[in-house]
Every structure is written in structure tokens, then in C-alpha cells.
Amino acid sequence: MDQIRARGGVTIGREVRPVAYPRGEIRASDFRVVEAAVRRPGPGEVLVRNTWTSVDAALRLRLRKTAPPGYFPAFPLEQAMDGIMTVGEVLESRAAGFAPGDTVSHASGWRDYAIVEAGKQALGGVGTLTKLDVGIAPPQAHLGVLGATGLTAYAGLFHVAGLRDGDVVWVSAAAGAVGSLVAQLAKIRGHRVIGSAGSEEKVRYLLEELGLDAAFDHRSGSLPDLLRAAAPDGVDVYFDNVGGDHLQAALGALRKSGRVAVCGMISQYAADEPPHGPDNLMLAVTKSLTIRGFRGSEHTHVLPEMRRQMAAWIGEGRLRRRETVVDGLTRAPAALAGLLRGDNTGKTLVRIDGVSRPEGAGSTDSVN
């Protein structure tokens, strides 16, 4: 349902604004949807009608009064949330290299319309206004496998963890947006891959659709025991999306000279008090382990390489995309709350002009 309209010749669009920093689980009352006039683009700018916008667990870190040191800043209250990846169609351009009808990505999501300055750096370069090639994949894929999500998976596994021949890989939150790509990339390269997730349904997805060698529901027993059963000889690489007890279990299972790529720690994002950390860090010394945290935006230099390789694997049918789609801009906060609860499989997206569903968080689509 298209809810965009004009009044007196002025374009009116909706935008989602935080009105309170959530404590614990995100609630609808933490946000409001505001109608605002959309100005015409100035020199060097384009007007974009957004069609798809991203929902990422890391947004929770910015919905705090103070974001973690060194991270992107907290979202100001009562303002549109800049820094959320989105794709859309250029309606008007006053910037060289962009024309009406172009499909673009940028970092002004969770709104109907955006005025975007061409060439302005955003999100470490990942969110800079970019014209998209929609011949290789649909527009929303540029928010997932061909966008920041794909970059995080690709750079984290190959450049941060330094995947080597013969490595055994464990991926936590392996049914999520980044984790599902990491697991597939390691399988494409011929490695033994273990995935963990938060439900038996997701475990079946990992085994039956993604073809992992082993997978387990981390809620079904003792995490160290579950990991030991899946990888009795240990692992060489742990791709961490969870932190906490998962990182502790990984330290116990890693073999000598093992590597940890710390992508995220979703178990801690909504914590009001400092969570309990691993108490076996001495193993990093005794096993000569490497533990390295990273953000995908630090690796924009590999974007062209990543997109070429990912597009080739998609074309060959070797890389699968799973999307959890929520219809309607007003349901973006609910989509984020669902993601943080673990309701999603694969990449979570909001189809901005979709008709809101009266029940359920959204639909899940699996595409090659």
C-alpha cells in the first residue's frame, strides 16, 4: 500500500524516529512514525524513493544513550535514523552520474524518501550513494549478500580469520544474515563446517538446505558438550556472532593456532549490566590463539572482489539467499525486535510499500 502523498505540491513522506532508548526488548512505544515534508534536491544531491530497507542486529547498539566506544554514534532521539542501509529508485537528480530511474543504495533508511548527497562518505564507505547493477540479483540482494552483510561475511572469513586449507569452522548464529553466508562460503571452499542456531527448525535449514556437516540447537543442552559432539577433534576457526558462553565454548574447542573472528556479540546488545565474559581466556595463551574483532565497514577495499565472487557463486547456484521479509515501513521496529529474539532466518528486510500483515512478523523466502 503506497502511503506517500503530496500536499499543496509538497511531497510528504514517513520516517521512523526513536523517541526513547529501549531497556531490554524493543517495543513499538520506543518509536513513532512521523510525516515530514521532503525538500527538493540541491546541487550534488538526488531524491530517492526508498523501496527496501535493512534490519540488522547492530542497530540495537545505536539505540542506547551511549553507543560502545569506537562504534557508530547513538541515534539521536526524535530524529530520522541515518545510517541504515536501504535501496530505492532515483526520482530526481542534480548529481553527475545519477539519473531518474537508477536503482541505488545508500544509508538513509527507515523512511519513504531520502535526499542523499553523492560522494559523501557514510558508514565507512559502505553506505555511500551507489548505483546498483540489478541484472545480477534483485535490488534487495544489495542489502544482503552483495552489500554490507556479504562484505562482513566475506572479509571476516577470508581476511580476518584467514581461512586455511583443512580448517574446521564453527559459525554461531549460523542461520542469520551473516552467519548463513559465512557457513556457505566455507563449504564452497571445501571445509568441514559446524553451525549452531536457536531452534530445531533452523538446524534443519542448516543441514538440509545449506549442507553443513553438523549443526545443533544451542538451547538443547550444554554448549561445550554439543560442540564437542559436533566437532570431536576440535575446530580451527570460530566465527563469532554471539559472544558470551559461545566464545567461552569456542576457546575450549579451538586447536593450537586457532583463530576467532569476532563479528558481533548479539547476546550482549540489550544488556543493561556488563554480561559475564569468558573465564578461560588463558587458553588464548596456551593454544597460541588469535582473537580479532572487526567491522565490515573497515574492509571496503575488498568490496569489488567480494561482489564479483559472490555474483559468480550466485550465478552458479552455489550460494543461496534466505530472506525474512516484513511488509510495511511502520513495522520496521517490530522486525528489529523479532530479529533480536531470533525469529528470523537469513537476512531481515522491510519492504517499505508492502501491505502490513495483521499477524506474524513477516514471511521467509528462500531463493537461489
**Helices and strands of the chain, counted as H and E runs:** 9, 17
In the 8-state DSSP scheme, what is residue 118? T
The torsion angles phi and psi of 119, rounded to 5 degrees, stand at 85, -15
- Across 204-359, where does the E strand assignment appear? 214-217, 235-240, 254-262, 290-293, 321-327, 347-351
Residue type, 280: N
- The Cα–Cα gap between 366 and 227 comes to 27
| Residue-by-residue pLDDT tens, the chain, 368 positions | 344 455 656 889 999 999 999 998 999 999 999 999 999 999 999 999 999 999 999 999 999 998 888 888 999 999 999 999 999 999 999 999 999 999 999 999 999 999 999 988 766 666 789 999 888 889 999 999 999 999 999 999 999 999 999 999 999 999 999 999 999 999 999 999 999 999 999 999 999 999 999 999 999 999 999 999 999 999 999 999 999 999 999 999 999 999 999 999 988 887 666 667 799 999 999 999 999 999 998 999 999 999 999 999 999 999 999 999 999 999 999 999 999 999 999 999 999 985 333 333 455 565 55
Does an H or E element contain 169, and which? Answer: strand 168-171
Say if strands 363-367 and 347-351 run parallel, antiparallel, or are unpaired.
unpaired
Residue type, 135: G
- The Cα–Cα gap between 345 and 334 comes to 15
53 vs 68, 130, 142, 171, CA distance in Å?
Answer: 24, 15, 10, 26
pLDDT at 359: 34
Does an H or E element contain 89, and which? Answer: strand 86-93
Say if strands 290-293 and 254-262 run parallel, antiparallel, or are unpaired.
parallel
User: CA gyration radius for the chain?
Assistant: 21
Residue type, 140: Q
In the 8-state DSSP scheme, what is residue 349? E
